[in-house]
């Protein structure tokens, strides 16, 4: 199965996580989602979302893609971004689900 790809580059927090959550809601359990994001908060917030929603984060890679630009390296390069690979796990029931705050605070003790 091909992974679902979400290009959230240029979107500011919390939009990359919202796009990911929308895709995750529609995706079957076990599906793979690749997210591209350039917002600095995504580096922390996508792993936090995976933890809160009990999905698996497999990979974070930093991409600085200068291969496509014709001119000299520097100003014309597209800005660097992060690539996240997430696998969707089956969701538990909504009530007292994986993201509930009380569970987090009890886990924090």
Q: Residue 106, SS3?
A: helix
Q: Residue 39, SS3?
A: coil
Q: Residue 83, SS3?
A: strand
Spell out, one character per residue from 38 to 77, where the chain touches other proteins: x when CB under 8 A holds, - when not: -xxx-xxx-xxx--x-------------------------
- Start-end of H helices in the chain: 15-26, 42-53, 101-107
Stretch that binds other proteins, among 1-9, 34-42, 58-66, 84-92 (CB under 8 A): 34-42
Spell out, one character per residue from 4 to 23, where the chain touches other proteins: x when CB under 8 A holds, - when not: --------xxxx-xx--xx-
Q: Residue 46, SS3?
A: helix
Stretch that binds other proteins, among 35-43, 58-66, 73-81, 83-91 (CB under 8 A): 35-43
Active site positions, annotated: 13
């Amino acid at each position: 199965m091909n992974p679902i790809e979400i290009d959230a580059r240029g979107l500011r927090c919390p939009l990359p996580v919202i796009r990911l959550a929308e895709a995750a809601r529609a995706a079957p359990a076990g599906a793979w989602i690749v997210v591209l994001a350039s917002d600095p908060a995504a580096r922390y917030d996508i792993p936090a979302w995976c933890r809160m929603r009990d999905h698996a984060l497999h990979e974070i890679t930093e991409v600085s893609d200068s291969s496509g630009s014709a001119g000299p390296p520097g100003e014309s390069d597209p800005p660097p971004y992060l690539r996240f690979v997430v696998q969707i796990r089956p969701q538990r029931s909504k009530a007292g689900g994986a993201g509930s705050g009380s569970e987090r605070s009890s886990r924090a003790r």
